[in-house]
Amino acid sequence: MQTLDLRHQMVKATLLILFVVVLFATIFVPLVVKQNDYFTYMGLFNSALYGVMYAVVSRTKPARWHALLVCVGCFTTLVPLVVISGGVNSQFVVLFPMIPIPLALMSNSKVSWWISAFMIVLIFSLLLLKDALPDLTNEVVSLQKSRSRAIWVSFAIIISATFVMYFDRINRLLRHRLIQQAFEDDLTTIANRRSIMQILQSKLAAAHTQPIAVLMIDVDYFKQFNDKYGHLLGDECLKAVAQSIKRSIRQGVDDVGRYGGEEFLVILDNVAADNALNIAEKIRANIALLRIAGPDGSAITVTVTIGLCCVTVPKRKSAQTILQQADQALYQGKLTGRNRVEIYNEGPVLN
């Protein structure tokens, strides 16, 4: 969705730039260069078209067809100008190599390549039809020069499309890294607190009547573990626990994230209370089987305590309430011995 919003802004910016530039050229060029009035009329029409397109895009939600609208608009305004002003010898044909750049930013490099191929075919078609096309500029250009210009404009389009292909690839890679930094925990490579909270909010909003279970997981005596073995081994412990939880849940259905410190949050989607308890017990048992290599070569075991909150009607509870209830169950589990799964109930929690 964020990518679509960004491209929507690119579409709006492109249309606004086109509107301003075309309108300025339509007004300014006749003041310094004598030209056929037909170009002025077309300039006014093109300015109005871009203005209307900008208004339409500004008043609608981000959509993938917006980039197609810009592409169609560009060819609707540019091709007739090229056709009546000398074809491949037209001064407007130099704009063709610029089209792949904003198109790739608004859509992707694949679409940019397809449009580039279309433009190259169009250029050589204009070359073949050179004698049959009207030329309101009345310029006489040799066939040799027309061929040369067609070849060089085609090369310019290929270079432009190649450039934006690599730019788009690098841009996607950087955007992916930024998303990872924003939503992925650096240490454990699972979702961070911000990401897992967004997932919980979205699942609560979409669930309606489907049951959801939330597991609050805390590594037992982790402070003592850090004090005894050091923070580096403590980090290795958290990595191992995170990966064990990830392997224990249903792939593609449930979600796990690091809630903070040695606490993890698991969201079980569309699961009954008994199945949620089974998954929680599986997580606890698998972590208890972990063996972390100590500095002296010894095998260190760790355990976790899990607070489980099952919600049968998610829309009746907020994310904050569910987390508080899971945390209360976790606290109760610590009071009653740790290394266990405790289910939240409505009774009071002992202090």
Rounded Cα distance, 312 and 327, in Å: 18
Amino acid at 82: V
List, in sequence order, every residue forming a beta bridge with 255; answer none if it has no partner: 267
Looking only at Cα atoms, what is the longest distance across the chain? 96
Is 184 among the residues known to form the active site? no
Residue 339 zone, left/alpha/beta (φ > 0; ψ -120 to 50; rest): left
Amino acid at 342: E
Q: How does strand 341-343 pair with strand 304-311?
A: parallel
List, in sequence order, every residue forming a beta bridge with 343; answer none if it has no partner: 308
Rounded Cα distance, 51 and 149, in Å: 32
Spacing of C-alpha 35 from chain mean position: 47
Rounded Cα distance, 67 and 128, in Å: 30
Catalytic one among 262, 281, 342, 346?
262
The SS3 call for residue 272 is: coil
Rounded Cα distance, 182 and 278, in Å: 32
Exposed/middle/buried for 178, CB within 10 Å: 0-12, 13-18, 19+? exposed
Residue 22 CB partners (closer than 8 Å, separation 6+): 43, 46, 47, 50, 77
Question: In the chain, at which residue ranges do the beta strands (DSSP E only) sit?
Answer: 212-219, 255-260, 263-269, 292-293, 299-300, 304-311, 341-343
Q: Which of 131, 135, 127, 119 is nearest to 79 (CA)?
A: 119
List, in sequence order, every residue forming a beta bridge with 233; answer none if it has no partner: none
Residue 236 CB partners (closer than 8 Å, separation 6+): 292
Which residues are catalytically annotated?
Answer: 262
